[in-house]
Structure 1
Amino acid sequence: MSKSTADEIKNFEFNCIGEVRVLGVLNSSCIVKYYGHQISSRWVPSSDGSSESRTLQSAILMEHIKGGSLKKHVDKLSNAGEKRLPVELSVFIARDVASALTELHSRHIIHRDIKSENILIDLDKKRADGTPTVKLCDFDMAIPLRSYLHTCCIAHAGIPPPDVLCPP
């Protein structure tokens, strides 16, 4: 186990706090609900016992979507021999992801990690209009586009600027 540098610890803390702050201001039926956050650290001895390193853990408490990710659903369909999602379901997913992005962009936030793993879907839990539950999640790469307009996270030190491509 290697020692974490002060910068690595600082970036970890800023990233966790950034995601929590972004989640805390979002309120949309198409974005996973945020319930709380816990960040903790502890000192762990090295395997030979000669030194200790700080281990940081972050737990974000969010709504559970029983169906899992869209990727999981597509993989399950593919394994069953299906070549594509039903058109009606695709339309519901596109509508709800667009609605989630509208909420984000109205608050000058860029998600920067839209992919099937970050779209949660539950075909059994229906909304009031009878459509499946679809929610966007995973805001650890999200940043405010113009932080001076952003009310929840003015200081996002350690997070790349909006014009930088973030590796997966």
Structure 2
Amino acid sequence: MSQPQYKELRRLGQGSFGEALLVHRTKDQKLLVLKKINTGPTVPKEEKESAEKEMYVLQKFTHAHVVKYYDSYQTPSHTCIVMEYCEKGSLADIIEERTNSGKGPFTVEHALDIWLQLVRAVEHVHARKVLHRDLKPANVFVTLTEWMKLGDFGIARQLSATTSLAATVVGTPYYLSPELCTGVPYDFSCDLWSLGCILHELLTLKHAFEGFNLPMIVMNIVQGKREPLPEGC
């Protein structure tokens, strides 16, 4: 069931969570993203809680480099979140395009410009006592003017204070901190580690920690066996 104030134009993506749709707001034709998250009776409880968490967390942020929240509503089968549309897709899309086209890595200046935008976004998020926990290029969205916007807070964690610790192992393997890999309690520093991994990827178009399988990636992270940076970085 769609809301009359939003007209669906096309699907932007689909996954186990549901789908993301490009819509326009009927009152002013503004392009937005409608994220429809499956929350029907057959969906596991933790996935429903994740959808509700993202809806709640997004409302806490008002920052130029965090995807803007506009609206949310629920249907019998979905939690729907309306948010800012970023025309150039994700930073992961741009990295993939540079890799496939042979353009090569970003210059140091360009990489730092992108990265510092993300640092400012994470600073804003942490100031509101929220851990993102899944920082990666696929969760960074890009406007036509190449303005970076941090998004996808589905597994974010609210802490009671900046000195609190969390213990659940989540995130994408290539960007996990050693604390997450070894199962010890962690804090906001896990997001800072992920930021470092993103900067490495911008400068090399490769993951900071590689491996043939998940155990090898985890071992390399824990042992600090990072892929080398090019000269001049």
- 2:167 is aligned to 163
Aligned residue type for 2:75: S
Equivalent of 1:70, from 82, 91, 113? 91
Runs of 4+ in 1 over 6 A off after TM superposition: none
The answer to which structure, 1 or 2, has the higher relative contact order (CA under 8 A, 6+ apart) is: 1
- 1:150 is aligned to none
- 2:196 is aligned to none
- 2:68 is aligned to 33
- 1:138 is aligned to 152
Judge which range, 86-95 or 21-30, deviates more. 86-95
- 1:4 is aligned to 42
Tell me if structure 1 keeps the 8 A contact 2:133–2:171.
Answer: no
- 1:111 is aligned to 132
Between the aligned partners of 1:101 and 1:167, the Cα distance in structure 2 is 16
Tell me if structure 1 keeps the 8 A contact 2:134–2:171.
Answer: no
Equivalent of 1:19, from 34, 49, 54? 54
Aligned residue type for 2:91: L
1:93 offset after TM fit, Å?
1.3
Tell me if structure 1 keeps the 8 A contact 2:67–2:83.
Answer: yes
Between the aligned partners of 1:105 and 1:167, the Cα distance in structure 2 is 17
1:103 offset after TM fit, Å?
0.7
The unaligned stretches of length 5 or more in structure 2 are 1-40, 173-233
For normalisation by structure 2, the TM-score amounts to 0.51
RMSD across aligned positions (CA)? 1.9
CA spacing shift, 1:119–1:167, aligned 2, 3 Å? closer
Between the aligned partners of 1:74 and 1:167, the Cα distance in structure 2 is 20
Tell me if structure 2 keeps the 8 A contact 1:110–1:162.
Answer: no
The unaligned stretches of length 5 or more in structure 1 are 42-55, 126-131, 148-160
1:167 offset after TM fit, Å?
5.2
Between the aligned residues of both structures, percent identity stands at 26
For normalisation by structure 1, the TM-score amounts to 0.70
1:14 offset after TM fit, Å?
2.1
- 1:82 is aligned to 103
